[in-house]
Structure 1
Amino acid sequence: MKTPRKPTPETYIKDIRRKTRRIFTAEQKILIVMEALRAETSVAELCRKHAIQESTFYKWNKEFLEAGKKRLSGDVVREATSDEVNQLREENRKLKETVADLVIRYDIIKKSLDIMD
């Protein structure tokens, strides 16, 4: 049986950083990229201000520009909003209930007709 190794200080710090990583919303990412597009500050300064890596910023910038490029080229397929998804789920639930009710009624009528014969 293997005994677990005691974590080194480096792995301990990496674990803490991994567990406390900030999650940026889409809106926050857009605001940061837009701030860079205004060119009022350098990318390095902007990244320090928001405590992000430059590679992360450039990834967001590329995604932002690619999304705009797709939209402008006529690709109008978009993700449904959470409200739309919830509305569709509710409609789907109601339709399933209606179908189940109709199946039950059909079975009842069919059985009653079989009894009459």
Structure 2
Amino acid sequence: MKRSRFSEEQIIAILSEQEAGMSTAEVCRRHGVSTTTFYKWKAKFAGMGVSEAKRLKALEEENNKLKRLLADAMLDNTALKDLLGKKW
């Protein structure tokens, strides 16, 4: 996945500019993002503070780590079943 050039803090600041009354097109032009990207950010970060966004990122990283651990355990389990299922 492509890494964003904006941090969560910057995204929330950009969204707050639009909420303060600046038009969406002007905010997008000023920061060099498309309106599609802006609305995706708004769907994800609307109403969040900086601390909440950091917590969300930490939870997503932890979730990915746990998914990898589960996949490794399932792979090991399948390999052991295959090994034990074969007759010597």
TM-score norm. by structure 2 comes to 0.49
Greater RCO, 1 or 2 (C-alpha within 8 Å, sep 6+): 2
